[in-house]
Amino acid sequence: MTHALDDADPLAPLRERFVGTDSPLVYLDGNSLGRPLTVTVDRMRAFVEDEWGGRLIRGWDEAWFDLPLDLGDEIGSVCLGAAPGQVAVGDSTTVLLYKLMRTAVAARPGRTEIVIDRDNFPTDRYVAMGIAGECGLTIRWIDVDTSAGVTVEHVAAAVGEQTALVALSHVSYRSAWVADVAAITRVAHDAGALVLWDLCHSVGSVPAELDAWGVDLAAGCTYKYLNGGPGSPAFCYVAGRHLETFAQPIQGWMGNTDPFLMGPDYVPVSGIRRFLSGTPAVVGMLAIQDMVALVDEAGIDAVRKKSEQLTSYAIELADEHLASYGVTVASPRDPARRGGHVTLHHSRMAEVVPALWERDVIPDYRDPGGLRIGLSPLSTSYGELERGIDTVREVFANLG
């Protein structure tokens, strides 16, 4: 089955490089767990047999010790607009958020507040609340429209000389709202605060310009649009201007000046390596590297362009086929303000999503009443999306 939009799509041929794209299953959750690449299958086997199995402990000296920073530079250059030496891979996003938030509040002594929005991803809010408790700080909550997201005006009204840190998401996990990172960062800096951006839902689909935007700190996960596989390690960005003065709270041997000296004291090594704590997950980095190479081959701007077209098409199909059932679009309609997914709302979505999974159409559900359609630009086709929306229509028609 072919689709005119796929025929016209210059990135369409890349889809067959992903495992499983030859099956009729409709996968609309690439923003939660990206599909693996077929090259990764071979890469994993070769790694186990030759690098791990053959080089054994020598692998650390030969390649693995530098992998968290080498891969960090690759992600930085292909996806983040970050010059080398500012991105490291390791830990989970949650742990990195803790490390970076804790670093930020320590770098703004005397300031008493963390600004964060009530609709940020749960882990971001929980980590901020934990640090507030630990450090005797207060959270200043921003209330947002859950079909949109945080604006410059919201942040301008929330920051002041009490603000240590503003912690927000580049793309909202719920609505896909794209925050104006440059303008919000400027407003926070004018108040003397630091800014931490969560890039989980943008990295690999919505380009960032972290250096140009003046961002202080950022973190993101790699198993969504970077297809690193379940539990693949996260990345953090710390602007070069902060690297010599910022110190992170999980003082581990991998961030020490000479880890193999096994010395009595912790003296953070210079550069981004100081943000590592313990032994990084090498196996988890291999798949990320394959996907970053593919994004580089396609070009992040071409990826973004297809992402905008896919999400626009999803909205067009929803308006045409689902609006009559009372389904509404709970994501921005302006493609420039919308990331790589679209959320559709209906009070009975909690019943609809399991019926879709039974029919091999896999989006996800976000309470209350949100059907989230994740459109991973390199592995999703327009035909696949159309079949998915058609099945949603069928389920609504039979809902009774």
Ligand X SMILES: *Cc1c(COP(=O)(O)O)cnc(C)c1O
Residues belonging to the active site: 121, 198, 223-224, 372
Q: Please, which residue, 122 or 136, has the CB nearer to ligand X?
A: 122
Name the residue nearer to ligand X (CB basis): 76 or 220: 220
Give the separation between CA 349 and CA 368, rounded to whole angstroms. Answer: 8
Q: Which stretch binds ligand X (CB under 6 A): 43-51, 126-134, 196-204, 372-380?
A: 196-204
Residues 6 or more apart in contact with residue 292 via CB below 8 angstroms: 71, 74, 75, 78, 79, 204, 226
The only residue of 15, 99, 201, 372 in contact with ligand X, by rule CB under 6 A: 201
Q: Minimal distance in Å, beta carbon 49 to ligand X?
A: 29
Instruction: Verify binding: residue 200, ligand X, rule CB under 6 A.
Output: yes
User: 27 vs 173, which CB is nearer to ligand X?
Assistant: 173
Which positions from 172 through 191 interact with ligand X, judged by CB under 6 A? Answer: 173
Applying CB under 6 A, among 221, 226, 317, 342 the residue interacting with ligand X is 221
Q: Which of 189, 198, 197, 129 is nearest to 164 (CA)?
A: 189
Contacting ligand X (CB under 6 A), which of 21, 40, 86, 93?
A: 93
Q: What share of the chain is helix, strand, coil (3-state, %, to 5)?
A: 45, 15, 40
CA 302 to the chain's CA centroid: 18
**Segment interacting with ligand X, rule: CB under 6 A, options 61-69, 121-129, 251-259, 276-284:** 121-129
Question: CB of 192: closest distance to ligand X in angstroms?
Answer: 26
Radius of gyration for the chain, computed over Cα atoms and rounded to the nearest angstrom: 22
Give the C-alpha separation, 293 to 148, whole Å: 32
287 binds ligand X (CB under 6 A): no
Shortest CA distance to 305 belongs to which of 11, 75, 74?
A: 11
How many residues form the binding site for ligand X (CB under 6 A)?
A: 13
What's the CA gap between 143 and 139, in Å, rounded?
12
Return all residues near 275 (Cβ < 8 A) that are at least 6 apart.
88, 90, 99, 236, 238, 248, 255
| By CB under 6 A, residue 121 contacts ligand X | yes
- Interaction of residue 129 with ligand X, rule CB under 6 A: no
Q: Which residues bind ligand X (CB under 6 A)?
A: 92-94, 121, 123-124, 169, 173, 198, 200-201, 221, 234
